[in-house]
Amino acid sequence: MEDRNLFGRALDVDKRGRHSTFSSALKDALASLVREDNPFFNVVAERWKEIFPSSAAFPGRYENGYIILYVRSAPVLFSVRPRLKMMERTLAALPGAPKTVRLRLEVHSR
pLDDT digit of tens for each residue in the chain (110 aa)?
455 545 554 444 455 567 778 887 777 776 666 666 788 999 999 999 999 999 999 999 888 889 999 999 999 999 999 999 999 999 999 998 998 999 999 998 76
In whole angstroms, what is the distance from residue 87 CA to residue 102 CA? Answer: 9
In whole angstroms, what is the distance from residue 52 CA to residue 73 CA? Answer: 19
Domains located in the chain, CATH noted? 1-34 (no CATH), 39-107 (3.30.300.180)
